[in-house]
């Protein structure tokens, strides 16, 4: 890649903007004038180390872990092998040791390529991105997060309840603000002051050790074991909110995240609907052991999904590994009620492809009498129907579409994103494709200024990236096609970004809020079909001050479903393809998707918000659906964050939780 030093590097527009905002926010970290910024990368080693190396290292790791040795000692054992010398501190790569161990076992027991997460200094040029091409291939890049700050604790072996070890099933949830002290997650009878959580990983923005710490590795929050939680329940008589606040103060770098979780939280409601039980009832559910992964607050605030994808994948890998070790005969049910809208929706999005891969790999492990580990993942199908996030256009040669309004909200601290993809409607090969050549994009700001993009090559951005990369209100990224290993091909697409509309400080562009107009011109000689998707997720309860949702300007029309009145968007807007972009990978019936239904008298109809699949996508409908709304009320009663409190949860998140419960 000689001669590329001056070329600005981006993975996609989402990651580039996350990096830009994080760099500007580094001054918020107390006591650190200029903390270092790294980014997570999921990599595949170019060569699988010899079997003898894998066996020797795995034995060393087990010995160190069982003896309570430090991460520093474990990292020294890893880098002592020449195949992993690239992780030595001099190379400025930071190891995610726990995930490295998962990749090691995949290679040792399954003969798979060696894949794992590590951290590198943020790559700003093509040369920096390709610096380690001789050692590994980058499969995915996550949002920047790493700050050098603290020492790390010693390693602890898994602590499993002996009674829970007999369980046939383990319930797990990946979400935000999980009220793990809530009495709904305790055992029954004489043990009702003991938790059913065998472990919960409280994720936080990564930290690397300070000088004198335990080596060149990342700390991603902390894991509370069953013993840790039981100690809190038996010895700490303070209000639950005070306990959570103390944990969060130690856990998170930014002061605004030190607060106790809100009274109503998405994670607690989902976990309760999926696995909660009254400890006084002594029901079968009170004997189901639980695992949890609590996402960092940034993941809930950023509704583009940029800050959650790598954490969710890391969480799934950790859950599978933990359950495989502690419950080798039990099936594992993982609820993921997070999602985003935009994507190719053919199973190629990294998060869905990698999770499907983990589920398939688990089946091959030599556990459970040779049957392998049975893992089920349940996704919410998405709440973007009638949210005015999708448009489908046909552009004749030499023609330009009528301007389509893109409403950008005020006081938004995050960018607004749009994906533009081609559409192949040929029978038998329907799908989203690369943007055809000859498409010119014109974006007109509310003040009338025009931004015109034409002929932007793959892997390039317009305006070009450089020293003033953040100082532009709009930018079009032509994200290149990517194929790695057994994962489906991700086609190239246009990723159009509009800057935040809230002033964030020097170096961050600020865009005007209001009615932006987008039009597309076909300068080619053949008609083209295009699909436009606004990238969004759902704002979790307690995070209403996070990212606000942009939308297209469009009209609704009245319609009927099963004879009952409802509505639909009018063309060029469409509800086709409004399912979550996480929901299109499959794994032998072990990945489930949940849509929401509304009860209307004696009948059920799809909820007005519950997403729809598309003929051009890998899925047409959710695999299952559950009633979560009534004719006059919305949501299902669930637990609030704190013991004894209540909430209601609607949406496909509630449906997914109910599906998870049925799998227990």
Q: Identify the weakest region by mean pLDDT among 147-151, 302-306, 351-355.
A: 147-151
φ, ψ at 380 (rounded to 5°): -70, 135
pLDDT at 304: 74
Asked if the model's pLDDT at residue 391 lies above 50, the reply is: yes
Q: Please give the structure tokens belonging to residue 372.
A: 């392998």
Give residue 214's pLDDT.
41
Q: What is the pLDDT of residues 518-574, one digit of tens each?
A: 999 999 999 999 999 999 755 555 555 445 789 999 999 999 988 888 999 999 999
> At 181, is the pLDDT very low, low, confident or very high (cuts 50, 70, 90)?
very high
Q: From CA 494, how far away is CA 437, in angstroms rounded? A: 11
pLDDT in tens, 452-505: 999 999 999 999 987 555 678 999 999 999 987 778 889 999 999 999 999 888
- Is omega for the bond preceding 171 within 30 degrees of 0, making it cis? no
CB 96 within 8 A of CB 218: yes
Q: Are 583 and 341 in contact (CB under 8 A)?
A: no
Pairwise CA distance, residues 158 & 199, whole Å: 8
Lowest mean pLDDT among 10-24, 105-119, 138-152: 138-152
450-453 and 461-462 as β-strands: parallel, antiparallel, unpaired?
Answer: unpaired
**Phi, psi of 534, rounded to the nearest 5 degrees:** -80, 130
* Ranges of each domain in the chain: 13-144, 169-234+263-383+579-663, 390-535
Cα gap 654→276, rounded to integer Å: 13
φ, ψ for residue 355, nearest 5 deg? -65, -40
Greater confidence, 373 or 146?
373
* Percent over 70 (pLDDT), the chain: 91
Distances (CA, A) of 42 to 96, 142, 288, 303, 607: 10, 8, 33, 22, 37
Burial of 644 (0-12, 13-18, 19+ CB in 10 A): exposed
Structurally, at CATH architecture level, domain 390-535 sits in Sandwich (2.60)
493, 491, 484, 582: which is closest to 139 by C-alpha?
484
User: Tell me, what's the pLDDT at 1?
Assistant: 35
Q: Of 273, 307, 276, which Cα lies nearest the Cα of 290? A: 276
Residue 213 has pLDDT above 50, yes or no: no
Residue 269 pLDDT more than 80?
Answer: yes
What homologous superfamily is domain 169-234+263-383+579-663 in, according to CATH?
Answer: Peptidase S8/S53 domain (3.40.50.200)
Q: How far apart are CA 590 and CA 586, in angstroms?
A: 8
Cβ-based neighbours of 166, under 8 Å, separated by 6 or more: none
Give the pLDDT confidence of 136-151 residue by residue, as tens digits: 999 999 988 766 555 5
* φ, ψ of residue 274 in degrees (nearest 5): -80, -45
Tell me which of 5-19, 344-358, 414-428 is least confident: 5-19
As a three-state string, the secondary structure of 125-174 is EHHHHCCCCCCEEEEEECCCCEEECCCCCECCCCCCCCCHHHCCEEEEEE
Looking at residue 324, the DSSP 8-state letter turns out to be H
């Amino acid at each position: 890649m000689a001669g590329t030093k001056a070329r600005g590097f981006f993975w996609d527009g989402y990651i580039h903007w996350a990096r830009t905002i994080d760099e500007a926010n580094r001054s918020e970290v107390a006591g650190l004038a200029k903390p270092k910024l790294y980014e997570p990368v999921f990599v595949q080693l170019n060569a699988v180390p010899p079997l003898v190396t894998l066996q020797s290292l795995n034995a060393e790791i087990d010995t160190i872990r069982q003896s309570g040795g430090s991460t520093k000692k474990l990292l020294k054992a890893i880098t002592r092998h020449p195949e992993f010398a690239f992780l030595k501190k001099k190379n400025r790569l930071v190891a995610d040791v726990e995930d490295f161990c998962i990749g090691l076992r995949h290679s040792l027991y399954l003969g798979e390529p060696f894949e794992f997460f590590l951290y590198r200094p943020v790559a700003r040029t093509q040369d920096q991105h390709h610096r380690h091409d001789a050692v590994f291939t980058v499969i995915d890049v996550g949002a920047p997060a790493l700050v050098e700050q603290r020492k790390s604790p010693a390693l602890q072996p898994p602590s499993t309840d002996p009674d829970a070890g007999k369980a046939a099933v383990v319930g797990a949830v990946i979400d935000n603000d999980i009220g793990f002290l809530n009495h709904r997650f305790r055992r029954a009878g004489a043990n009702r002051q003991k938790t059913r959580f065998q472990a919960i990983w409280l994720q936080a923005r990564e930290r690397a050790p300070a000088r004198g710490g335990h080596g060149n590795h990342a700390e991603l929050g902390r894991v509370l074991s069953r013993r840790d939680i039981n100690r809190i329940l038996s010895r700490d008589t303070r209000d639950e909110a005070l306990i959570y606040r103390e944990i969060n103060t130690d856990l998170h770098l930014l002061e605004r995240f030190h607060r106790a979780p809100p009274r109503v939280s998405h994670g607690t409601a989902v976990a309760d609907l999926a696995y909660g039980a009254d400890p006084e009832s002594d029901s079968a559910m009170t004997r189901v052991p639980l695992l949890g992964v609590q996402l960092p607050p940034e993941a809930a605030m950023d509704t583009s999904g940029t800050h959650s994808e790598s954490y969710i994948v890391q969480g799934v890998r950790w859950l599978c590994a933990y359950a495989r070790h502690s419950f080798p005969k039990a099936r594992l049910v993982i609820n993921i009620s997070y999602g985003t809208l935009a994507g190719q929706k053919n199973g190629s999005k990294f998060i869905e492809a990698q999770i499907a891969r983990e589920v398939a790999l688990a089946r091959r492990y030599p556990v459970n009498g040779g049957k392998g580990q049975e893992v089920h993942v349940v996704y919410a199908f998405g709440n973007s129907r009638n949210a005015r996030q999708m448009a489908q256009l046909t552009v004749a040669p030499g023609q330009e579409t009528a301007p389509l309004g893109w409403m950008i909200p005020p006081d938004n601290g995050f960018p607004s994103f749009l994906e533009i993809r081609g559409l192949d409607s040929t029978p038998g090969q329907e799908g989203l494709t690369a943007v055809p050549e000859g498409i010119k994009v014109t974006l007109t700001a509310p003040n009338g200024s025009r931004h015109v993009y034409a002929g932007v090559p793959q892997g390039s951005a317009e305006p070009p990236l450089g020293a003033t990369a953040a100082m532009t209100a709009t930018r079009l990224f032509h994200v290149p096609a990517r194929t790695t290993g057994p994962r489906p091909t991700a086609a190239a697409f246009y990723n159009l970004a509009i800057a935040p509309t809230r002033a964030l400080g020097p170096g961050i562009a600020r865009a005007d809020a209001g009615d932006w107009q987008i039009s597309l011109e076909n300068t080619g000689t053949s008609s083209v079909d295009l699909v436009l998707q606004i990238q969004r997720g759902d704002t979790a309860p307690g995070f209403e001050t996070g990212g606000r949702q942009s939308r297209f300007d469009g009209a609704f029309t009245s319609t009927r479903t099963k004879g009952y009145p409802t509505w639909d968007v009018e063309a060029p807007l469409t509800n086709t393809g409004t399912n979550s972009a996480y929901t299109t990978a499959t794994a032998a019936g072990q990945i489930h998707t949940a849509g929401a239904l509304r009860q209307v008298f004696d009948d059920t109809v799809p909820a007005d918000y519950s997403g729809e699949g598309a003929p051009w996508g890998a899925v047409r409908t959710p695999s299952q659906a559950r009633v979560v709304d009534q004719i006059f009320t919305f949501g299902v009663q669930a637990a609030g964050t704190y013991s004894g409190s209540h909430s209601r949860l609607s949406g496909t998140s509630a449906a997914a939780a109910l599906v998870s419960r049925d799998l227990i």
